[in-house]
Amino acid sequence: MPLYKTLRAAGMNEHLLNSQVESGWETWASLDAALNELGAAGWEIATPLYGSLPGLAQRPTTWPMAIILTHRSADAAMETQRQIDKLKHEIAETNKKFGPSARVKELQGILEGLVKNNPPLT
């Protein structure tokens, strides 16, 4: 069964192509960075979702609001393990740069929830 992931702009009224991108707890500095990382892990673009350009409702201009990705060969346990590994790395990097912070605590809470609900792959 394929897995699905939605990439969207992190800020309200931000353009997906020119802003920070997020999917769940994960964030990337740009759409290119997200697609490069996820593409290397086997994710493919399934379809973009379009909407009207913010503030220009009177014009028929549309822009991509989000991109749906699919991973046909992964299973949920492998994706969870990828996220756990990424969380551990991000916690270590954030802690090294800023010390204990609200962001580190937030990421540790997410990590604990993933680990608790998903036993490690063997």
Query: 70-81 pLDDT, tens per residue?
Result: 988 767 788 888
Query: 17-29 pLDDT, tens per residue?
Result: 788 999 988 999 9
Residues 11 and 40 in one domain: yes
Residues 13 and 30 in one domain: yes
Give domain status of residue 122, yes or no.
Answer: no
The total domain count for the chain is 2
Query: 109-121 pLDDT, tens per residue?
Result: 988 988 887 765 5
Query: 49-67 pLDDT, tens per residue?
Result: 877 655 555 555 666 778 8
Residues 8 and 44 in one domain: yes
Residue 61 confidence (pLDDT): 61
Distance from the first to the final alpha carbon of the chain: 21
Residue 62 confidence (pLDDT): 64
69: exposed, middle or buried (Cβ count in 10 Å: 0-12, 13-18, 19+): buried
Which residue range(s) make up the domain with 65?
3-71
